[in-house]
Amino acid sequence: MCGIAGYTGKRKASEVVVDGLALLEYRGYDSAGIALFNGQGNLQITKKAGFVSHLKKAVYGKEGCCGIGHTRWATHGIANETNCHPHCHGKFCIVHNGIIENFATLKKSLQKKGKKFLSQTDTEVVAVLLDEFYKGDVLDALGKVAKLLKGSFAIAILCHDFCDRIYFLKKGSPLIVGVGQGENFVASDQLAFVHYTDNVVFLKDNEMGYADSNNVFVFDFCKNKKVLHVEKSNAKADNVAKPPKSFMHKEIFEIPKALRMTANDFFNDEYKKQKAIDIFSKNDKVIMIGCGTAYNACLVGKLVWEKVLHVSAEVDLASEFRYKNPLVSKGTLVVAVSQSGETADTLRATKLAKSKGADVVVITNVAHSSITKNADLVLHTKAGQEVAVAATKSYATQVLLFLCIACVLSKDSKAVKEIKKQIDDLPYLATKALLCDTVVAKKAKEFCKKQGTFFVGRGLDFPLAIEGSLKLKEISYMHSQGFAAGELKHGSIALVDKNVLVVGIITQKKVAEKTINALHEVSCRGAKVLVVTQFDKMANEAGCHDVIKLPGATDLLMPILAVIPLQLFAYHVSVARGINPDKPRNLAKSVTVE
Ligand code: G6P
């Protein structure tokens, strides 16, 4: 987590850096800070708790053409100005993304030598170490310090002796250099400098270097110079303009387009389809991994592949998979799903799978993201930039890709023809599903004061219940839980009373009646019940319940269509409770720490 932006050139660094940080707020927004060399070579530090907009006001008009900034997601130390980056010691001032796992040991030994620390962060130890090792050659100090650090880090550094240079250090966390004309940039994501240059260098692990306004130099940690690979950026400036309502609402309404783009991209790529067939035929075991919403997409993917391909798949949380010595070897296919492609646990789990001989297929929304480097095949969800912290359109496209892959792998040509026809109709059906927005907003207002919400469903509706629940709690702070509809009665029904809302998801023909039974059981215990269904009959049978009606479609498409009212419900509850749905507390869009 955390976002780094740095600039050196002729422009006002305060403006370039702060605008860059604003575009990186998806990585965290607990506090923001900046270090600027003013024209006289003096370093000015400004820090603010809270959003980048607070920092923007504080640095408005400040002079200086070289600076580094940081937007923080707190890991070590509370979110106040003291723990806010940059952290400085002696001649060095640094911003950091990642976690220094051995910081406590390093800090103790530095304290024994009499070094004073101001913050509770792991980062400050790096600034102190750099100053300790610095004998006039910054690269020398960087290399020595890098070798001492355990964990992951992307660090941008200013040194008082070189007031037009940004030094950098990378291992495990993303760091990118933007190459301009007479100006250069360093950032966690290309987005930070999308308005200035599309020439980028994706730094690799165990690399360090520096940029001034005219040059970029990259070295390994032993100071061996490396050849610079400048590539074209794929970040787009027009995707990040602030919408009138919120990014989340806008992004939910982009689902139809995202679905069309994703299906077209996949089905028109003969190479990728053939590669998918080759990889699948080589393996006899499938494991799907991800975190958060991406994990929930895997839960759907597993059921879709079971139904269409008649293969069983395991699904694991990436954070569990990587620490349990997973049963993976040659012959295992690991499908790793990650919107950002930067989630630390998914990244490390994917590397582990590869090192154990597995074939790895990655489903990601971000081309060039770190996870793509470990993949035998990369499949892109074409959702476009997703800015709101809560994943919406990316989830819909992840599930769609599982379905698309199943179409290509299935030998049942009749079934495939039918599913493909439905996929063609998906954007239209999703547009119809979005029509429920007004009704959902009304229901959200009505239910926004409930103490808690259970989401229940069976079959493909079960993972959907889990995803609906995750969405609600992350942006509305209302307690909620997703359940298999038949499981609620085995204990958790004890929590049900008139203060509880139960959302029943009924989209799967075979098990629809059974889910209705579960809803009657909670309704007669006082719970309010909201039904999300594609069936008119169920809507009527639900009788006393509130109903959100979905367009009719084949069962396999419903995890994509029925998620729309669930996302909208979470959004409207969040707004009704006076919360900013785009930036919920304690969260970040991309979790690049373990
Ligand atoms: C964070 C986000 C979630 C997201 C998860 C996985 O926790 O807040 O919305 O689902 O990371 O992210 P990824 O980029 O790997 O899909």
**Average model confidence (pLDDT) for the chain?**
93
Beta strands 285-290 and 332-338: pairing type?
Answer: parallel
CB 583 within 8 A of CB 51: yes
147 is an active site residue:
no
pLDDT in tens, 491-537: 888 888 999 999 999 999 888 888 888 888 898 888 999 999 999 87
Instruction: Note the pLDDT of residue 539.
Output: 62
Give, in degrees to the nearest 5, the angle at Cα 342 between 341 and 345: 105
Residue 469: other Cβ atoms inside 10 A? 25
- DSSP collapsed to 3 states, 245-300: CCHHHHHHHCHHHHHHHHHHHHHCCHHHHHHHHHHHHHCCEEEEEECHHHHHHHHH
Residue 125 has pLDDT above 90, yes or no: yes
- Residue 471: pLDDT band by 50, 70, 90 thresholds? very high
Rounded CA gap, 62 and 76, in Å?
Answer: 29
Instruction: Note the pLDDT of residue 21.
Output: 95
Burial pattern 276-298, b for ≥16 Cβ within 10 A else e, equals: beebbeebebbbbbbbbbbbbbb
Give, in degrees to the nearest 5, the angle at Cα 71 between 61 and 151: 140
Instruction: Note the pLDDT of residue 408.
Output: 95
Catalytic residue among 12, 382, 450, 589: 589
Residue 239 has pLDDT above 60, yes or no: no
pLDDT in tens, 318-377: 999 999 989 999 999 999 999 999 898 999 999 999 999 999 999 999 888 889 988 999
Residue 263 has pLDDT above 90, yes or no: yes
Rounded CA gap, 297 and 434, in Å?
Answer: 20
- Which ligand 1 atom is nearest residue 296's CA? 10
Instruction: Note the pLDDT of residue 545.
Output: 73
Residue 40 has pLDDT above 90, yes or no: no
- Which ligand 1 atom is nearest residue 318's CA? 15
Q: Which residue from 25, 342, 343 has its CB within 8 A of the most atoms of ligand 1, so it is best to mutate? A: 343
Q: What is the DSSP letter of 383?
A: -
Q: Is 8 in the pocket of ligand 1 (CB under 6 A)?
A: no
Six token digits for residue 575 = 């707004």
Instruction: Note the pLDDT of residue 368.
Output: 80
Instruction: Note the pLDDT of residue 81.
Output: 85
Q: Which residue from 291, 469, 587 has its CB within 8 A of the most atoms of ligand 1, so it is best to mutate? A: 291
Rounded CA gap, 389 and 579, in Å?
Answer: 13
Kindly state the percentage of the chain with pLDDT values over 70: 98
Residue 570 has pLDDT above 60, yes or no: yes
Q: Which residues contact 292 (CB under 8 A, 6 or more apart)?
A: 343, 391, 470, 591
Q: Which residue from 299, 469, 589, 592 has its CB within 8 A of the most atoms of ligand 1, so it is best to mutate? A: 589
Q: Which residues contact 452 (CB under 8 A, 6 or more apart)?
A: 478, 479, 480, 481, 495, 499, 500, 501
Q: Is 2 in the pocket of ligand 1 (CB under 6 A)?
A: no
- Residue 237: pLDDT band by 50, 70, 90 thresholds? low
Which domains are present in the chain?
A: 3-235 (3.60.20.10), 255-411 (3.40.50.10490), 435-581 (3.40.50.10490)
pLDDT in tens, 49-76: 988 999 999 998 888 999 999 999 888 8
Q: Is 366 in the pocket of ligand 1 (CB under 6 A)?
A: no
Residue 543 has pLDDT above 70, yes or no: no
- Which ligand 1 atom is nearest residue 292's CA? 10
- Which ligand 1 atom is nearest residue 346's CA? 15
589 is an active site residue:
yes
